[in-house]
Amino acid sequence: MPYLTSVKRDGSKWIPEFVKEIKKSECIACGRCFKVCAHNVLNLKEYEDDEFDDIKPHMTIESENNCIGCKSCSRTCPRNCFIHSPMEV
């Protein structure tokens, strides 16, 4: 199946991979991904952890359509929380 592709400055092909999901159980809400994303894709949210009757912060995908597929969030994440995939055309 064909994917959306682009061309880098050196002429080589690049397939951007867009953020699809954040593994909430792995996220430690360090905010590194939020700081590095220049397109306002992510946001910090809190959820109730039923197992511990606790409120836990985690990152969420706020504006998926703003993602440009650079994977900066993934490269800065110390816990590998992000799941990316290319866009089918």
CB atoms within 10 A of CB 83: 12
- The CATH class given to the 13-86 domain equals alpha beta
Contacts 24+ apart (CB under 8 A), 64-67: 64/18, 64/19, 64/20, 66/39, 66/40, 66/41, 67/18, 67/19, 67/39, 67/41
* pLDDT (0 to 100) of residue 21: 96
* pLDDT (0 to 100) of residue 57: 83
pTM: 0.82
Per-residue tens of pLDDT for the chain, all 89 residues: 799 999 999 999 999 999 999 998 899 999 999 999 999 999 998 866 666 666 678 899 999 999 999 999 999 999 999 999 999 99
* pLDDT (0 to 100) of residue 51: 65
Domain boundaries defined on the chain: 13-86
